[in-house]
């Protein structure tokens, strides 16, 4: 006897839900389907914005500039691979060997994650400018954030100091985010437009033309 009120309540809920779905499928309730379409369009727009954020960040990103040797805080805004370069003028020739002796250590700001740094070969990249680009090291990170970079000569020896420029050289993360965001935008937007079209057709059905030769009633 105690379960009868609960059974009646459950039956009423199921009946009300069935009636609601029937009315919605017949187009007698307009707001939910239009609301669903609007929600899908908004969701698609959000995914597109999320896919464009790394592209905008990369386009507006300025290279991190820091002294080598020394300790600096580097702000990585986009994950990927990075290369550190310095520019050597004619008077700086001959210090490449000393620069290759520099030791590097890099970790996140909390010093819980160590980033592997690979030193580059000592061959400079000659440019059209009067300065030569000399690669120092490169590394890759999986997430954005602030990192601490320390560099020094072995045994704390004295040596020449240069200014390093950190360049982003890997666009795979940016491309992946953009492709996923664009794909989800197309999917959700298309489904949202379909819901709008479906509701419009339910409210404005197409007029069926009578077959040819069929006489119209007088």
At residue 101, φ and ψ (nearest 5 deg) are -85, -10
User: In this model, does residue 191 exceed pLDDT 60?
Assistant: yes
**Nearest-angstrom CA–CA distance, 101 and 108:** 23
Q: What is the DSSP letter of 27?
A: T
Asked if residue 142 has pLDDT above 60, the reply is yes
Q: Is 197 helix (H, G, I), strand (E, B) or coil?
A: helix
Query: Please, what are the domains in the chain?
Result: 62-170 (2.60.120)
Please report the pLDDT score of residue 10 as a whole number.
Answer: 64
Q: Which helix (H) or strand (E) holds 187?
A: helix 172-203
According to the model, what pLDDT value does residue 21 have?
59
How much is the average pLDDT of 57-61?
Answer: 68
Q: How many CB atoms lie within 10 A of CB 81?
A: 15
Taking only Cα atoms into account, the Rg of the chain, rounded to an integer number of angstroms, comes to 32
Q: Which of 68-72, 137-141, 160-164, 168-172 has the lowest mean pLDDT?
A: 168-172
DSSP conformation class of 171? -
Q: Does the global pTM surpass 0.85?
A: no
Q: Does residue 59 register a pLDDT over 80?
A: no
- pLDDT greater than 50 at residue 118: yes
Task: Please answer whether residues 55 and 78 qualify as being in contact, where contact means their C-beta atoms are separated by less than 8 angstroms.
Answer: no
């Amino acid at each position: 006897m105690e379960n009868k009120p609960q059974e009646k309540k459950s039956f009423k809920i199921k009946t009300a839900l069935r009636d609601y779905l029937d009315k919605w499928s017949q187009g007698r309730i307009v707001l939910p389907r239009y609301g669903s379409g609007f929600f899908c369009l908004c969701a698609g727009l959000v995914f597109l914005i999320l896919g464009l954020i790394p592209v905008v960040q990369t386009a507006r990103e300025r290279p991190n500039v820091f002294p080598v040797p020394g300790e600096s805080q580097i702000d990585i805004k986009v994950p990927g691979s990075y290369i550190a370069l310095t520019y050597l003028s004619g008077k700086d020739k001959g210090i490449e060997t000393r620069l290759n002796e520099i030791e590097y250590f890099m970790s996140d700001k909390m010093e819980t994650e160590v980033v592997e740094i690979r030193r580059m070969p000592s061959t400079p990249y000659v440019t059209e400018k009067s300065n030569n680009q000399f690669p120092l090291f490169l590394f890759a990170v999986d997430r954005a954030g602030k990192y601490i970079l320390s560099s020094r000569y072995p045994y704390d020896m004295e040596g020449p100091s240069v200014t390093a420029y950190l360049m982003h050289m890997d666009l795979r993360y940016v491309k992946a985010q953009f492709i996923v965001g664009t794909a989800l935008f197309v999917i959700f937007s298309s489904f949202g437009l379909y819901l709008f079209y479906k509701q419009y057709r339910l409210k404005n059905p197409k007029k069926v033309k009578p077959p040819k030769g069929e006489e119209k009633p007088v």
